Amino acid sequence: MSTTIGFGGGPLDSDDEAGPNRTGIEELAPRDDFGARASAGRAARARAPRTSHAGWTPPPDRADPVALLEEQAITRVPELVPIRYARMARTPFDFFRGAALIMAADLVSTPVSGIMAQICGDAHLSNFGVFASPERDLVFDINDFDETLPGPWEWDVKRLAASLEVAGRHRGFAVEDRRRIVLGAVAAYRRQMRRSARERVLEAWYDRLDADEIRVRLRRAREANRVGKAQVKRAEAVLAKSRTRDSVRAFTKLVSIEGGRMRITADPPLIVPVEDLVEKGLEGEDVERIMRGILRGYRTTLRLPRHPLDEYEYVHMARKVVGVGSVGTRAWIVLLRGRGDDDPLILQAKEAEASVLERFLPASRYEQHGERVVQGQRLMQSASDLFLGWQRVTGVDGVERDFYIRQLHDWKGSADIENQQPVGAAMYAEACGETLARAHARAGDRVAIAEYLGGSDRFDRAILAFAGDYADQNDRDFAAFTAAIASGRLPVAERF
């Protein structure tokens, strides 16, 4: 059963004092009337009291989680679907990462405040990390927007909180440690949103968490004996390593010289060069011609009138399996060359399908889903990749598909979930919570959300209760999923 929540919409009317804006989000009050926005936030408590977000009880007609995954597989590359299932079967947390559609179907029955924002749609803890800004600063932010869409900001908070509880259980953290981690993340979200609501307009828009601030927090935590020396060194190592993860490093791992020419090295089924996938009648020259046309079209979606891409030429491409939930969607890596073979650039072109949220929310206002991803990312992130753009492509099978394009690596790094200790996990959770708040502050009504949250911890405790109950649901879904694998209903790959 598909349930849709309606949140207004309709054509933009420049004479409206409130109503939908250019993002398609229904505004509760005029943007320049801060008092009215605050009143709207307080009034939202009557529609959905903060305590109403507590807990989770599955409805009697809840969709079969395994069937939802099978539905997603219909549009994916058939030979890659078993890899997706194998990756999701590793742990309950890996299953949770791939279960964005399942959780979206569940969230639609939960209370919402009616205050909308551009949301990530898949704000679990592994979708946060560090990367380079165009100014070459190392920033911490959300890094996955495949499911982004205007929707209830609470859904992002609930997915983040549930992911922290699921991950804490996977790591074997004590109940009290998990409680502290989840509450810390939600409290950090609430405090940051209230700070953003009080800040000057541009301060709220430009605010971000960078590597220098992370280091300051680590030092303070060490001085207060909240974390040990080893944990600080480990975090510093992650930041340092992130700066080495760029196209040059990716080049050394993925590219070899064959017959005097650069080629992406095959490693099937995880990396398969384009010539091993295209129709037999399609020659290398045809592939190169097609790719040049695709790159020209993609170039028109980049923001700068003059762009570094103009100085690169196409060399080679291959299909690459990425992520957990994304496995089976089409993802390509594209090798480009600048001044010579020692000046490479590797782009990633990732298929963008309809957001899992679009079954339950108004459809995207963008014709192309690649543009939906890119525009949502540009709105929510404090700084976006210089090469972030989109393109619609007709495949060799004659089917049109949407893609978004970005650098494969650009100083990217993420937390080592498997080795986190409770104190480090708590600090990371707080960083995720406040980062999500900054994104919603840019992409929604920070004043209304802040007033809805208030200064008490009522909302925090309600989300804690939700996270615990939903983690129980995730455990049940994971059991059903692994049972479907054991019965032969779902195929799994041996190499993934």
pLDDT band at 41 (very low <50, low <70, confident <90, very high): very high
pLDDT given at position 37: 96
Looking at the fold, whether 235 and 277 belong to one and the same domain comes out as: no
Which positions ≥6 away from 142 have C-beta within 8 Å?
120, 123, 127, 128, 380, 381, 435, 436, 439
**What's the pLDDT at 15?**
38
Q: Could you write out the DSSP letters of every residue in 157-208?
A: HHHHHHHHHHHHHHHT--HHHHHHHHHHHHHHHHHHHHHHHHS-HHHHHH--
Q: Considering the domain boundaries, does residue 493 fall inside one?
A: no
Closest by CA position to 353, among listed 327, 335, 320: 327
Phi, then psi, of 389 in degrees rounded to 5: -160, -170
The larger pLDDT score, comparing residue 15 to residue 251, is at 251
Q: Which of 407, 431, 447 is the last residue of a domain?
A: 407
Residues 255 and 234 in one domain: no
Q: Which of 386, 407, 428 is the last residue of a domain?
A: 407
**Paired residues of 263 in beta bridges:** 256
Q: What is the mean pLDDT of residues 75-94?
A: 96
pLDDT at residue number 13: 35
**Structure token pair of residue 352:** 């963008």
CB contact set of 374 (below 8 Å; sequence gap of 6+): 301, 388, 389, 390, 404
Does residue 198 sit within a domain?
Answer: yes
**What is d(CA 51, CA 456) in angstroms, rounded to the nearest whole number?**
11
Do 430 and 371 fall within a single domain? no
DSSP line for 352-403: ----GGGGTSPPPSSSSHHHHHHHHHHHHSSS--TT-EEEEEE-TTS-EEEE
Residues 171, 67: one domain?
yes
Omega prior to 11 cis, within 30 of 0: no
* Residue 280: pLDDT band with limits 50, 70, 90: very low
More confident residue, 13 or 267: 267
Domain that holds residue 322: 247-407
- Rounded Cα distance, 431 and 377, in Å: 19
DSSP for 255-272 reads EEEETTEEEEPPBTTTEE
Whether 55 and 300 have beta carbons less than 8 Å apart is answered as no
Q: Are residues 329 and 374 in the same domain?
A: yes
Strand partners, 78: none
φ and ψ of 366, to 5 deg: -95, 140
Partners of residue 334 on adjacent β-strands: 317, 347
- By the 10 Å C-beta count (0-12 exposed, 13-18 middle, 19+ buried), 226 is classed as middle
One-letter amino acid for residue 298 of the chain: Y
Q: 333 near 262, Cβ under 8 Å?
A: no
| Strand, helix or coil for residue 116 | strand
Domain stops at, among 407, 425, 441: 407
State whether 47 and 172 are in the same domain: yes
User: Is residue 108 a part of any domain in this protein?
Assistant: yes
Q: Is residue 27 part of a domain?
A: no
Taking the C-alpha atoms of residue 414 and residue 148, their distance in angstroms, rounded to an integer, is 20
Number of domains in the chain: 2
149 with 198, same domain: the answer is: yes
State what percent of residues in the chain have pLDDT above 90.
68
Q: What percentage of the chain has pLDDT greater than the value 70?
A: 90
Query: Highest-confidence range of 171-175, 230-234, 281-285, by mean pLDDT?
Result: 171-175
Of the given ranges (103-107, 165-169, 492-496), which has the lowest mean pLDDT? 492-496
Beta strand 331-337 with 344-351 is antiparallel
Q: Is residue 491 part of a domain?
A: no
Q: Are residues 295 and 366 in the same domain?
A: yes
Question: Any idea which of 77-86, 131-140, 157-166 has the lowest mean pLDDT?
Answer: 131-140
Q: What is the mean pLDDT of the chain?
A: 88
Q: Are residues 277 and 192 in the same domain?
A: no
pLDDT tens digits, one per residue of 152-193: 999 999 999 999 999 999 999 999 999 999 999 999 999 999
Q: Tell me if 12 is assigned to some domain.
A: no
Buried b (16+ CB within 10 A) or exposed e, 301-328: bbeeeeeebeebebbbbbbbbebbbbbb
Same domain, 233 and 251: no
pTM of the model: 0.90
Same domain, 461 and 436: yes
pLDDT tens digits along 313-362: 999 999 999 889 999 999 999 999 999 998 999 999 999 999 999 999 99
Question: With contact defined as beta carbons under 8 Å apart, do 157 and 50 qualify?
Answer: no
